[in-house]
Amino acid sequence: MNRIWLRSVRHATLVSVVIFNFVLVGCGLPEEGRFVALPASELPDALTATTSTSTTTSVPSETESTTTTVTEVLYDSVEFYFVSANRVVRSERRIVSPATPTQVLDTLFAGLDSNAQTAGLRSALPRGLTATIEVRRGVARVVSTAPFLSELEPLDQRLAIAQIVLTLTRRPGIGQVLFVVDDVEIQVPRGAGDLTAKGATVTYDDYLSVLSNRD
């Protein structure tokens, strides 16, 4: 009976050893100094799952081109007339093109620039004087309101009118000037001091007598 029990024990031990070795081989543990690769079907899902790595490359968009537009400012050289020693002299000034009659008249009424002041010139036109201008068929109508130039001394009246007439008639398309105050066409003094008839126009030549010889 002891032999039968001993044989049973040996048989159970042998079976246990075989099962243990089978487990070791199945788990991929080394056998006789070698690694045994397990079939993919026997590996855990966590080990066989494929890891996908995506790399995103940011491609810069097309560079926007910035265009800087440089506007060239054009100027016209305009003849303005001012006073020196009770005579009228020419003084050139550059103003933004196109130099319209309105722009020219407004610039004349605005007074002297630094160059003209340095040259010792003055304007007989009173400060704050305003007027509008309309050109038709070569005639420039200068329209203003009272007192216009009536408060000036007679000599300065002539010089002031001469400044306006000489400046305007040097512009293209203007040959004559007519003065209107409070909707009435007025008389104006010519260079020699005589008055025009009401509604009569004056020209460049009417003021040659007050024009400086150096002009």
For the chain, 215 residues long, give each residue's pLDDT as a single digit of tens.
444 444 444 444 444 444 444 444 444 444 444 444 555 555 555 445 554 455 555 555 555 556 677 788 999 999 999 999 999 999 999 999 999 999 999 999 999 887 766 678 999 999 999 999 999 999 999 999 999 999 999 999 999 999 999 999 999 999 999 999 999 999 999 999 999 999 999 999 999 999 997 54
Tell me whether residue 215 is in a domain: no
Taking the complete model, does pTM exceed 0.85, yes or no? no
Tell me whether residue 64 is in a domain: no
Q: Are 30 and 95 found together in one domain? A: no
Q: Are 104 and 152 found together in one domain? A: yes
Q: Are 29 and 80 found together in one domain? A: no
Q: Are 101 and 189 found together in one domain? A: yes
Q: Are 191 and 104 found together in one domain? A: yes
Q: How many domains does the chain have?
A: 2
Q: Are 104 and 205 found together in one domain? A: yes
> What backbone phi and psi angles, to 5 degrees, belong to 75?
-125, 150
Tokens of 90: 């020419």
What is the pLDDT, as a whole number, of residue 114?
A: 76
Residue 30, domain extent? 2-37
Q: Are 13 and 101 found together in one domain? A: no
CB 79 within 8 A of CB 167: yes
Q: Are 31 and 81 found together in one domain? A: no
- Alpha-carbon span 104 to 164, nearest angstrom: 10
CB atoms within 10 A of CB 157: 18
Tell me whether residue 68 is in a domain: no
Q: Are 7 and 89 found together in one domain? A: no
Tell me whether residue 69 is in a domain: no
What is the pLDDT, as a whole number, of residue 208?
A: 97
How, if at all, do strands 176-181 and 184-185 pair?
antiparallel
